[in-house]
Chains A and B, each alone.
Chain A
């Protein structure tokens, strides 16, 4: 049955959207990522205007992050103080990103910026992950334990002023790096419709040196706040959130996620990371092709919102 989306002003097949939500939910359950980086391009390929796709995906990520965050909260694995500091940066980044989003949309470079930031970010993250998971797999095969020990060294980041004690993370560091990371992710969330987990988690581990047991919970906490803010700002300044589309995606997503979690329990960590790396690289390459191959139609038409 076709369903009419009141904000996107198009009709979609509800099963396809539900299936998309479920597939992304499955992957997010499997890999423990939000899946926004896959959902936004998928919606755009289906024909949803990129503005609506970016803005609506944010609310899907809020929903899919909630259950994970609640589970971590019960395990007391959320560094609330760190989460709030990062969210403060994240909110500023969201405001800036939504403003930037509006400017780009008016100048006609929206699609270019979305696609090229996806290519750069996914290419980098995917490449790093591929490299790391291959190294880990090789290490496992040769019998040596993968070395994760990298503490002790001090980065220049830790010499910055405005130090604050984060008891739960057992850190005494400057607030500048977490605020800056939060800001960066807020901008990404607003212009790409992603939660930014694939940036936040490595940043927490490698830059902030947070203990891994609080990384997942804290990043989810921060993602919820940032994507919720993105949803509200996109709704107020760009009128770009389609609640019917969001409902379908979320329903599919929460169901898919449960199967994803179960499937994930049967696969080893290194294999999972390898699969995710390949997936991320595939999306990046697909988007790169879209940028460099001559389009079949050079012209595009946009109706200026009255």
Chain B
């Protein structure tokens, strides 16, 4: 995972002018989100500072938080006789399980479409690594993005970057209860006059802790004992209730 972050960093450095990373500093309010039994979603804060804001030109900040990639199947219902059933489907590989974007202005005003596409910035520019489908995949990709938006797992807020001073900014990133676990990346881009002049990526880990963690890994690593425990629990509670009830009578 460290290697992955390092690769990403060199990628960014390779794309950018050599001194550029000094223009932008960013960080996260927390580097891990722990899913506990009363977890109902949370907010993380991405904050940062632009070092030389007065160099001339227009500065824009875009913050993207991206979840681990997943493979998702999108199905479309069709009417067969009188029943609606799933007919056509597309499997999209390498789409982020979570994507949240905040920017200082609407994306179209910040940079040209092909610049945004190159960095994969914006919901409209989210493209899967691979699509397996017998049909035109575009409606399926759009349906996926639409569904993820309804679930609160994809989002785009054009005025979501809040400036506390001419140099200091912050972004509230909503993390709903249904997020998948894994490594997330908070990417901060500094645009000047439509070009990326600086970028930073900070990893964020979301994982279950405590009892949830133990139950989940129990269910995954020894499913047989997990299943047997579920049955024994059910039998014990059923028996216990009959004992209590008989005494109650």
Contacts and interface: CB of A to CB of B under 8 A. Distances in A.
Interface of A: 1-4, 6-7, 9-11, 59-60, 62-67, 70-71, 108-109, 111-112, 116, 224, 228, 231-237, 239, 241, 243-244, 246-247, 250-251, 254-255, 257-258, 291-295, 297-304, 306
Interface string B143-159: 11011100000000000
B20 interface: no
A258 B38 contact: no
A2 B237 contact: no
B86 A300 contact: yes
A264 to B, nearest CB: 14
Nearest to A255: B241
Interface stretch (B21-29, B73-81, B102-110): B73-81
A254 B241 contact: yes
Contact of A299 (B37, B76, B213, B237): B76
Contact of A231 (B84, B208, B231): B231
Interface of B: 35-41, 70-79, 82-86, 89, 91, 97, 139-140, 143-144, 146-148, 177-178, 180, 208, 211-213, 215-216, 219-220, 223-224, 226-231, 233-235, 237-242, 245, 248
B75 A300 contact: yes
B239 to A, nearest CB: 6
A192 to B, nearest CB: 18
A108 B89 contact: yes
Contacts of A66: 234-235, 238-239, 242
A153 B199 CA distance: 85
B72 A70 contact: no
Given A65-B238, A300-B75, A292 B83 contact: yes
A300 B70 CA distance: 16
A300 B213 CA distance: 29
Contacts of A297: 147
Given A4-B36, A241-B230, A294-B79, A302 B84 contact: no
A108 to B, nearest CB: 5
B230 A67 contact: no
A254 B86 contact: no
Contacts of A298: 76-78
